[in-house]
Chain A
């Protein structure tokens, strides 16, 4: 019997699952939309993933914005933030990489690596301009699937300029450009370019991006954005075929390194999880409390400021 480890990355837009063996090879993986319901998404991920014969699941790690909730529900042995997870996975597969560009559904970050260590990182601050959420909302406006964006952007000869600073500005720019008759591919290409420029201006802010550079996160699947990254940075930019799974793989690797190992199963379909929000009125803080149940049994209560 060999050991294997599961990593789950529950992001704002998509949920990713990956099973790896002790040599960090991916055995099975899965990519789904979260649709605002992380518990259901994780259940679906678990039902789609299969543990190959001859393997035992010995660790679960969770990452992404719902990592705490899912980690608690699954009894995960590692719960880590996505920045560390991404860096760990990338350093395992691409030890030569010095810069990681990552654009996800709601956040974008740059991680700089030196001597197999994170040297510095930066993340977008307040808003989600120039991330996956921005692209998919613009795709909807243009009546397209966001998956076709990249291919269409590549056909454009001269991309139009679109302000990417803020989604609202970009939208009015986009509507304006469409109304005065710009072809769709030029607008889409302009959008992709604006994502790149926004990212470099707002996240990287004058950091020196040293080659080799790797581009990850859901948006790395978009060839248009990739093309403009290469153009603007004047460097080759790598994309891993598992680039969108890196968070899940990273946390699975961390889970395999954790000495606390238990026997897990993937069978969760008959376990009912329930969460309930309540407001506490004991003081004027009025904390929003979240009660988490597994099969009627109270697991934990979150959100209190006083620790009551």
Chain B
């Protein structure tokens, strides 16, 4: 998912003795493969991950790892394994986190996975920190890339940083690398205009975090000159969500979790409105049930604060025109409102 393959690959190569197959980047081929063998009305993450799985199995993988499931995503690994077996591939799909619970060590031992006991904890901590640094850097990029003087300068530094991250030796090395690239990033020249337009990005996590699934919406918004804020990232989902959700439930009119990130998104809408953001974009994959439940409430909260919301539903489109029309119109509107 996005650039998270870097820390995940780092973790797996350091804690496992098994050979690790690096998944290919998501291309049209992946999507085509995935949707060909998926039920038509399943949500897009299923199709994207299935496509990647088929490609990885062809590259020689026989154990596939799947994460997640605050919604029906939690059952996807079983169906995907079945589909892969029907296609004649012999492999196992493992879900590491299901319904908020991590897979147990006893469960893991059933599979031919060899864990290196030495450095296990150390690698885990490094990976956690790496994800944390990446997310911090991405937050900065989303807020500032729109003002870059030289187009592409931010992306270049980010790419260099990820390559450097994949080669770090220890925690201290990681910290040093992060500081170096942070300095590089913050010293890039910026041209900040008087009127800054800020947009909040909320929605279903996979579509939000995988640029191939959202038509690189962050880059697009940045290229229009808009600052972007996004709450959802791996640091949030794995390490902060639990605590925050408890807080949200305490002092909010929504009293239920509503599945997956529905509650979070409604609360974030309120936060974005109160912080004076100019617009909110909500993206989800088509048929995403928790988000469909959250949409009327998001609309209600935003309307109280008079902040416009654009709802986008992503599916397999070969043509970007419809998406671009909606985006352009929304951005025109934000600019007009600001004047």
* B100 within 8 Å of A (CB atoms): no
Q: B329: which A residues are within 8 A, CB to CB? A: 81-84, 121, 123
Q: How far is the CB of A103 from chain B (nearest CB, A)?
A: 16
- Once the chains are docked, how many angstroms separate the CA of A206 from the CA of B308? 14
* B286 within 8 Å of A (CB atoms): yes
- Once the chains are docked, how many angstroms separate the CA of A84 from the CA of B322? 14
- Given A65-B321, A84-B332, A285 contacting B313 (CB threshold 8 A): no
- Find out whether the CB atom of A126 lies under 8 angstroms from the CB atom of B315: yes
Q: How far is the CB of B18 from chain A (nearest CB, A)?
A: 26
* B296 within 8 Å of A (CB atoms): yes
Q: A82: which B residues are within 8 A, CB to CB? A: 325, 329
Which residues of chain B (298-339) have a CB below 8 Å from chain A? Answer: 299, 306, 308, 311, 313, 315, 318, 321-322, 324-326, 328-330, 332-333, 336-337, 339
Contact bitstring A264-291, B, C-beta under 8 A = 1, else 0: 0000000000000000000111111000
* B27 within 8 Å of A (CB atoms): yes
- Find out whether the CB atom of A81 lies under 8 angstroms from the CB atom of B337: no
Contact bitstring A166-181, B, C-beta under 8 A = 1, else 0: 0000000000000000
* A230 within 8 Å of B (CB atoms): no
Total chain A interface residues with beta-carbon distance under 8 A: 24
Select one of B29, B328, B330, B333 contacting A285, CB under 8 A. Answer: B29
* A148 within 8 Å of B (CB atoms): no
- Find out whether the CB atom of B332 lies under 8 angstroms from the CB atom of A284: no
- Find out whether the CB atom of A126 lies under 8 angstroms from the CB atom of B332: no
Q: B318: which A residues are within 8 A, CB to CB? A: 288
Q: A81: which B residues are within 8 A, CB to CB? A: 324-325, 328-329, 332
Select one of B29, B325, B339 contacting A65, CB under 8 A. Answer: B325
* B5 within 8 Å of A (CB atoms): no
Contact bitstring A103-121, B, C-beta under 8 A = 1, else 0: 0000100000000011111
- Find out whether the CB atom of A123 lies under 8 angstroms from the CB atom of B326: yes
- Once the chains are docked, how many angstroms separate the CA of A121 from the CA of B29? 35
- Given A81-B332, A118-B337, A284-B29, A126 contacting B313 (CB threshold 8 A): yes
- Find out whether the CB atom of B286 lies under 8 angstroms from the CB atom of A121: no
Residue in B closest to A65 when the chains form the complex, CB atoms:
B321
Q: B311: which A residues are within 8 A, CB to CB? A: 122, 125
Residue in A closest to B321 when the chains form the complex, CB atoms:
A65
Which residues of chain A (58-91) have a CB below 8 Å from chain B? Answer: 65, 80-84
- Given A65-B321, A83-B329, A119-B308, A284 contacting B27 (CB threshold 8 A): yes
B→A interface (CB under 8 Å): 24, 27-30, 286, 296, 299, 306, 308, 311, 313, 315, 318, 321-322, 324-326, 328-330, 332-333, 336-337, 339
A→B interface (CB under 8 Å): 65, 80-84, 107, 117-123, 125-126, 205-206, 283-288
21 A-B residue pairings within 8 Å (CB atoms): A65-B325, A81-B324, A83-B329, A83-B332, A83-B333, A117-B333, A117-B336, A118-B333, A118-B336, A119-B306, A119-B337, A122-B311, A123-B325, A123-B326, A125-B311, A126-B286, A205-B296, A206-B299, A283-B27, A284-B28, A285-B27
The 4 closest A-B CB pairs, nearest first, are A83-B329, A284-B29, A285-B27, A81-B328
